[in-house]
Structure 1
Amino acid sequence: MDVHPLPPLLHNQPQLIADEVRRLVAELGGREPAYDKIAIGYADCGTYGALDAVCAELGLERLPGLHCYDVFAGPDRLARFFEDQPGTYVFTDFLVRSFHRTVVRELGLDRWPELREDYFKSYTRVVWLAQEPDDELHALAERAAEILGLPLTVVDTGHAGLERALADLVS
């Protein structure tokens, strides 16, 4: 199995994901030896069905769910988080590690910290779906939640949901 990642910052512009997937699949389709199967390791990720349209057009499957949070926590569990507190902001280990680059810098909070209130005033908490929690990640998650001015809830998810979804996808 080969993994061909797309830039993670596409999640900040999900309207670009479907076209980037189409471009990468076209590139991979021209390789020799040809792949027996190509699967998309994205959930919908904010494409509002555009990724599903590309998958249907190309005869491909993708990870289930609206976003990776569904894959890690399970859609029912995640729905409960939002039902309990609609203002829930969600972290994964990746977002914890890359928070300064993907949130602070990309949203301009490093240059205009006063924008934090505009961006995050409707949020009430952060839920970190911790795949591989350790002391360093925990400290980074606490710091990121502090920057947002929100309390942090840690939910240990591990990789089981992702492992099941990937196994289903490639089988």
Structure 2
Amino acid sequence: MPEPTTETRGRTGKPVLLLACGALAREVLALVEMNGWTHLDLHCLPAKLHLEPARIPDAVEEAVTRMRDAYDRVYVLYADCGTGGLLQARCDALGVEMIAGPHCYSFFEGNATFAAHDDEITSFYLTDFLVRQFDAFVWKPMGLDRHPQLRDQIFAHYETLVYLAQTDDPALDGAAEEAAARLGLAYERRSTGYGDLAPFMARAAQM
């Protein structure tokens, strides 16, 4: 990223760091461009850390410790993401703020709205990223490419695939509906946009 100008730096003359899950890269960059937040620098950790959530707190701590001196402030664009509260505790110890929510499905729909769906334990969620990366992050990690007969066991208690759409893209809609069919689930699409990610980043952008 180009060296920030005087007009695009944070309060201390340094830019602001957004340390994010790689699964959020497109959305974060879209919001940066949309709002002209040129003083926000994005650094992504590998999205595949989600396949081993226990590794996320250490990866976040290493990146914050290594990079924070170059920045005015650091914001962590991870929800809990299966760490059982360990990531929040680590961020608190580091003195950095992370976005609220149990996972990105929740903050994309809006945490309050998602929490109200307490009857959706039979729903399986995808975001734009997961639709694009369905094979890499769902089909293959679950072994369905090698053992397709496992599908009916793994998804025996699911009824609906819910696509939480950040964008209006007919190609993604089609891919999400195809994913639902591959999993043997009914299909539902909800247009969420960026949900709670947008106001969180707006607060991070304040100088």
TM-score by length of 1: 0.91
- Deviation >2 Å, runs of 4+: 168-171
The residue aligned with 1:141 is: 176
**Does the 8 Å CA contact 2:110/2:195 hold for their aligned counterparts?**
no
User: Which structure has the highest strand share of the two?
Assistant: 2
- Give the counterpart of 1:48 among 65, 73, 84: 84
Which of 115, 123, 126 does residue 161 from structure 2 map onto?
126
Separation in 2 of the partners of 1:27 and 1:104? Answer: 35
Q: Of 109, 114, 133, which aligns to 1:73?
A: 109
- Contact 1:63–1:169 under 8 Å retained in 2: no
Instruction: Go from structure 1 to structure 2 and tell me whether the alpha carbon gap of 1:35 and 1:84 turns closer, same or farther (over 3 Å shift).
Output: same
1:94-105 superposed matches below 5 A: 94-105=129-140
Instruction: Choose from 16, 19, 28 the match for 2:55.
Output: 16
Instruction: Provide the identity percentage.
Output: 41
| Deviation of the 1:146 alpha carbon | 0.9
Unaligned runs of 5+ in 1: none
Structure 1 CA distance for aligned equivalents of residues 72 and 78 of structure 2 = 19
Cα drift, residue 80 of structure 1: 3.3
AA aligned opposite 1:55: C
Answer with 92-101 or 151-160: which moved more. Answer: 151-160
State how many pairs are aligned: 167
State the shift of 1:161 in Å. Answer: 2.9
* 1:87 partnered with 2:122: yes
| Paired residue secondary structure (2:41) | coil
Shift of 1:166: 1.7
How much is the aligned-residue C-alpha RMSD, in angstroms? 1.5
Judged with a 3 Å threshold, the aligned counterparts in structure 2 of structure 1 residues 126 and 80 are, in CA distance, closer, same or farther, namely farther
Instruction: For structure 2, list consecutive stretches of 5 or more residues without a partner in the other structure.
Output: 1-39
Matched-pair contact (CA < 8 Å) for 1:93–1:132? yes
Distance 1:85 1:44 in 2: 19
C-alpha separation between the residues in 1 aligned to 2:195 and 2:157? 31
State the Cα deviation string for residues 47-68 of structure 1 (Å, max 9, x = none): 1111011101110100111111
Q: TM-score, normalised by structure 2?
A: 0.76
- CA deviation after TM superposition for structure 1 residue 37, in Å: 0.6
Partners of 1:169 and 1:107 lie apart in 2 by 36
Q: CA offset at residue 8 of structure 1?
A: 0.8
State whether residues 43 and 65 of structure 1, in contact with CA within 8 Å, keep that contact through their aligned partners in structure 2.
Answer: yes
Q: Is the 8 A contact 1:18 1:54 kept in 2?
A: yes
Contact 2:123 2:162 in 1 (8 A): yes
| Deviation at residue 160 of structure 1 after TM alignment | 4.5
Using the TM superposition, give the Cα deviation of residue 165 of structure 1 relative to its aligned residue in structure 2, in angstroms: 2.0
Amino acid at match of 1:12: L
